[in-house]
């Protein structure tokens, strides 16, 4: 989930999602420590390298919108990143899903960045 780069904007989005899910189960977090070190950003650097022996394994592109997962939705920050001209992000599987009639984008993000 990241951690090997100075730009942790994208991994921080994943961390926030996991943190909120854990809080819903009763786990408590030090909000002061988190607010000072977590900076989620949809425009963060995307690192595609695979470390160690993973680089020898073939890659797999996940199908977005698999009908087996009816509650699946694209995170709004993913849609924002895809639609933005500020970053080069255009995976074919996401493009196909967002162009489909059955697309679902979650109504709200998990964080609200301060301007």
Instruction: Decide: 64 and 93 in contact? Cβ < 8 Å.
Output: yes
Structure confidence by residue, pLDDT tens digits, 65-85:
777 877 778 888 889 999 998
Strand residue runs (E) in the chain: none
Report phi then psi at 87, rounded to 5: -135, 155
Q: Among the listed ranges 15-24, 49-58, 75-84, 89-98, which one has the minimum average pLDDT value?
A: 49-58
Structure confidence by residue, pLDDT tens digits, 49-60:
777 887 788 777
Q: Whole-model pTM?
A: 0.64
Q: How distant is the alpha carbon of residue 20 from its chain centre?
A: 14
């Amino acid at each position: 989930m990241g951690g090997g780069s100075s730009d942790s904007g994208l991994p921080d989005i994943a961390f926030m999602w996991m943190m909120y899910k854990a809080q819903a189960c009763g786990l408590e977090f030090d909000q002061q420590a988190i607010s000072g070190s977590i900076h989620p950003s949809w425009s963060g650097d995307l690192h595609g390298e695979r470390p160690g022996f993973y680089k020898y394994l073939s890659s797999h592109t996940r199908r977005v919108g698999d009908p087996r997962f009816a509650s699946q939705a694209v995170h709004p920050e993913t849609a924002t990143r895809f639609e933005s001209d500020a970053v080069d992000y255009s995976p074919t599987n996401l493009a196909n899903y967002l162009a489909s009639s059955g697309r679902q984008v979650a109504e709200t993000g998990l964080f609200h960045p301060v301007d």
